[in-house]
Amino acid sequence: MDLQALYLSIQLASLTVLILVPLGVLMAHFFPSKNNIGSFAKEAMITLPLVLPPTVLGFYLLVGLGGNSWFGQWFEALTGQTLVFSFLGILLASLIFNIPFVMMPIQRAFEAIPQDLRDASSTCGLPPWQRLFKIEIPLANKGIISAAVMTFTHTLGEFGVVLMMGGNIPGQTRTLSIAIYDSVQSLEMHSAGVMSLFLLIFSFVTLIFTQRLSLSNRDFQGNLKS
């Protein structure tokens, strides 16, 4: 087991969750889905990373944020560092790649909240921020937890977009999935097997947890509506 790569993957996954989940909650609260062209376009943008090959997304990030782009040059002039082949670069790539894994469960959880509750809270004089923290987040907490767990697990196994954006620098961009690839390339099959088994078990347990959470959430919201 490459403990350095494991630690880096956990660090990347934790930061991705800590940044994306609050943004997902705010987006679901202030920009709810509507049946119009703008909403359909927003849904398409959110779900695009699910169908776009990770290497394609990584390529466009590499081109758009690299040293030859205006943003990459501006960032390098401002900080003295490059985004490409850095931890900050793979964090940015991870944030973009994991948007659907955060937004979709949270958005569905917010959509399942009865509109009558929102109307009642507005009638009682609750401002939007208090309504969010006192009513909507507690009712959507299972969807938020599911989004956080799925995003964390998915980030642990990211490969294509991280490799394209960050390369393979030990201690900086070498995540667990890249360490598995390196072990296979070096014919270190035992090491690759241990790391792969860890990700397999972790992913399997995560799926059981999220499915159980989803079932309990459906039961709760069914009782709420009745």
What's residue 157's pLDDT?
86
In a domain, 59, yes or no: yes
Q: Which residue has the higher pLDDT, 95 or 42?
A: 95
- pLDDT at 139 > cutoff 90: no
Q: What's the CATH number where 8 sits?
A: 1.10.3720.10
**Which structural domain, as residue segments, surrounds residue 167?**
3-221
Check residue 215 and give its pLDDT: 65
226 domain residue, yes or no? no
Q: Is the pLDDT of residue 159 over 70?
A: yes
Which of the four pLDDT bands, split at 50, 70 and 90, describes residue 20? very high
Domain-located, residue 65: yes
Average pLDDT over residues 140-152: 88
Residues 6 or more apart in contact with residue 181 via CB below 8 angstroms: 159, 163
**pLDDT on residue 95:** 93
Whole-number pLDDT of residue 37: 63
Residue 46 lies in a domain: yes
Q: Summarize the confidence of residues 21-33 as an average pLDDT.
A: 81
Q: Which of 28-42, 78-92, 144-158 shows the lowest per-residue confidence on average (mean pLDDT)?
A: 28-42
Give the per-residue pLDDT at 226: 53
Rounded CA gap, 42 and 175, in Å?
31
Domains identified in the chain, total number: 1
Residue 60 lies in a domain: yes
Distance of alpha carbon 170 from alpha carbon 143, whole angstroms: 35
